[in-house]
Amino acid sequence: MGITDNPVKMQKAWFYEAHGPKEVLKLGEFPLPILKHNQLLVQVRAAALNPFDCKIRQRPIAPIELPAVPGCDMTGVVVEKGDSVSKFEIGDEVYGNIQDFNSEGERLKHLGTLAEFIAVEENLVAKKPQNISFEEAASLPLAVQTVIEGFKTGGFKEGKTVFIVGGAGGVGTLAVQLAKHLYKASLVVATTSTTKVDFVKNLGADKVVDYTKTRYDEVEDKFDLLYDTIGDSENSFVVAKDDAPIVDITWPLSNPKATYSGLTVSGDILERLSPYLESGKLKAVIDPTGPYRFADVIEAFRYLETGRARGKVVISAFPSQTNDATFQIVSEKL
């Protein structure tokens, strides 16, 4: 059984029936999921958009059943749980990346996070720290997981130096902060445009390179790790020390010397970061144009695709927050 076997109970969602530009998205009725034993049913309170959501909608780069609801990142409240769930209770506030990219050969969930209710495996989510908002929590999972995987791919060690290409984006803003506070880099340098220099400095960068005024070959220092968040390692490689790792989170790689870094999807990663969020050392960054309303998802995607976002583009609030209906969810027997 699956989501299409549950035709009676419906919810509001954004979905697309064919791949294409953002205009293929429709707001309408979409079936509620039937839970598996290890899953939670979460009432979504906020979701974040990612470039991956655009890519998978534009063309079939990964297996996904259509019609599909976009979205990986979310935060919300547990309203039902499968009978093997042990870590969470109904009423818990959770957040996470619901798309398990670790499962090789598996289809992506075609019920993404731009829906009132989603189903997610309990191992993919964590409890939301109480001192951050739903919107802040939704902005974190995929980007944080990407950052941590990148530093792991680069074999980064405490006391080393890092050059981050794209310090103001969804991944870059977190890479700058985690480089200082989690990985304890001795020197963190990041690039951005003129209007965002002070913003990136305030995130914790020791130096900020304004790429509109300074070329990479004019940067005086050489670095132990080049961390490229925007796909410019073809040009930025000159700042890396000889044989220093060049990590690129975009595909295809712009430099054959670079190593592609994806992400490991796990709620445990989010749990380990809780002390940094609770202490304020790690701060979620939401683009000041948002949060966008649920009705304005196409406009939010339009803005994300300009590449000008400062931090993450977030969607909130969801229609179900004013809906008192109670849904009886039937667990799927595996």
265 belongs to a structural domain: no
Residues 160 and 106 in one domain: no
* Bridge partners (DSSP) listed for residue 29: 12
CA distances from 137 to 111, 182, 208, 234, 267 (A): 20, 18, 27, 33, 13
Could you report the per-residue pLDDT of 72-121, keeping only the tens digit for each? Answer: 999 999 999 999 999 999 999 999 999 998 776 678 999 999 999 999 99
Residues 163 and 132 in one domain: no
62 belongs to a structural domain: yes
CATH code: domain of residue 234? 3.40.50.720
To the nearest 10°, report the CA torsion of 200, 202, 204, 207: 60
Residues 125 and 229 in one domain: no
Cβ-contact 109, 96 below 8 angstroms: no
Distance CA 187, CA 224 (A): 10
DSSP three-state, residue 142: helix
Residues 127 and 176 in one domain: no
276 belongs to a structural domain: no
With b for 16 or more beta-carbon neighbours within 10 A and e for fewer, the 129-157 pattern comes to beebbbbbbbbbbbbbbbbbbbbebbebe
Tokens of 124: 């993919």
Residues 10 and 96 in one domain: yes
CATH code: domain of residue 67? 3.90.180.10
Residues 153 and 198 in one domain: yes
Q: Which of 226, 260, 294 is the last residue of a domain?
A: 260
DSSP three-state, residue 263: coil
268 belongs to a structural domain: no
Counting Cβ atoms within 10 Å, is residue 39 exposed (0-12), middle (13-18) or buried (19+)? Answer: buried
pLDDT of residue 44: 97
Cβ-contact 49, 304 below 8 angstroms: yes
266 belongs to a structural domain: no
Alpha-helical (H) ranges within 164-212 are 170-181, 197-203
What are the backbone dihedrals phi and psi of residue 36, each rounded to the nearest 5 degrees, phi first? -90, 170
pLDDT of residue 5: 45
Residues 148 and 175 in one domain: yes
Residues 104 and 130 in one domain: yes
Could you report the per-residue pLDDT of 131-141, keeping only the tens digit for each? Answer: 999 999 999 99
DSSP state of 124: G
Q: Which of 242, 260, 278 is the last residue of a domain?
A: 260
Q: Which of 65, 77, 46, 75 is nearest to 3 (CA)?
A: 65
**Angle in degrees, 0-180, between the axes of helices 141-153 and 267-279, rounded to the nearest 10:** 100
112 belongs to a structural domain: yes
Q: Which of 226, 245, 260 is the last residue of a domain?
A: 260
129 belongs to a structural domain: yes
Residues 128 and 244 in one domain: no
Q: Which of 230, 224, 220, 212 is nearest to 163 (CA)?
A: 224
Residues 191 and 241 in one domain: yes
Q: Which of 179, 198, 197 is nearest to 188 (CA)?
A: 179
Q: Which residues of the chain have pLDDT under 70?
A: 1-8, 104-105, 321-334
Tell whether pTM > 0.85: yes
275 belongs to a structural domain: no
Residues 226 and 316 in one domain: no
The total number of structural domains that make up the chain: 2
Structural domain range at position 177: 143-260
pLDDT of residue 325: 46
DSSP three-state, residue 311: coil
Residues 11 and 129 in one domain: yes
